[in-house]
Structure 1
């Protein structure tokens, strides 16, 4: 997987001027295109939306403008990745925080049953894990083999993430505390 978006795929169905406006954060120009009939949820042949492109370029005002015009913050691409999923996978905590603040679903799953918190734990993106949990991501989702993210963090030796997942907030959710080898908690 890559931290890149295939911009050449965008050129098949949309004016390059609109794409440039999104990349450059030119809100008035983006809104002009929407007023001229371009749908806020437009996607290219790979399923990348205008919101996805704006997220990639960290154009916060463009994202807010698109959302105000009815664009979905959770519109997936052909792989089933939403902008939040992409940001979590690539370790962009600032984007994760921004998107959750705009209503992105932290527990969205792809057809392959992948989800943002799983990939953040797998890749060791500690700050992304924190933002996802603060945004309401469920710790108890299971992968196809019946494992949760705490198991994954322990297995990969990601002690900082284990501490986060076992922290005080985990105890408030009535998760049983792990027993020591002598049976005590």
Structure 2
């Protein structure tokens, strides 16, 4: 008999919870071969933890390029935002992970993609003065004029955070 539509999901046993914890740790630590084997056995590539972080988010945020590639190739969604509205591309931008940002973009991440708050990877990169990341995102078509849900642009966010180089970099990008 199927569960009622509004019924809470069944409780997970301790063994299942422990297994899930190990899988998320594999993504964080970059255990690409182990993840690939689990995907081959049917593990869903878009598995998420209690904070909404997907395996892809954890691998990308922690600079695990090979694990990021394996997850993407297994069907990991590069647009799946976590509970804080952060996409894997924004996570890579925050950490300054250029190679991972390229990998995500090459596998379909929207350059101006965002979670619920409307904050894009360009905004995140600008806020933290990640000039190389800003260059990459602009070269891939990021919109420097886009605004988040609060109405702020990447340059305004960068100025508010005290970024020293990205406000001028973004102003230069807007010139014809």
Instruction: State whether TM-score is above 0.5.
Output: yes
Work out which of the residue numbers 108, 116, 130 in structure 1 matches 2:113.
108
Work out which of the residue numbers 70, 74, 87 in structure 1 matches 2:75.
70
In 2, Cα distance between equivalents of 1:96 and 1:103: 11
User: Partner residue of 1:138?
Assistant: 143
Q: CA deviation at 1:147?
A: 4.6
User: Partner residue of 1:46?
Assistant: 51
Matches within 5 A, 1:1-185: 12=17, 14-144=19-149, 146-153=151-158, 158=163, 160-167=165-172, 170-172=174-176
1:13–1:44 CA contact under 8 A, matched in 2:
no
1:26–1:62 CA contact under 8 A, matched in 2:
yes
Moved more, 109-118 or 75-84: 109-118
Contiguous gaps of at least 5 residues in structure 1: 1-10, 173-185
In 2, Cα distance between equivalents of 1:155 and 1:26: 38
**What TM-score do the two structures reach when normalised by structure 2?**
0.72
For residues 1-42 of structure 1, the C-alpha deviation after alignment (integer angstroms, 9 at most, x for no partner) is xxxxxxxxxx84744443454344333321221222210111
Q: Which has the larger radius of gyration?
A: 1
Contiguous gaps of at least 5 residues in structure 2: 1-15
Q: 1:48 to 1:163 in 2, by over 3 A?
A: same
In 2, Cα distance between equivalents of 1:81 and 1:95: 15
Q: 1:79 to 1:149 in 2, by over 3 A?
A: closer
**What TM-score do the two structures reach when normalised by structure 1?**
0.69
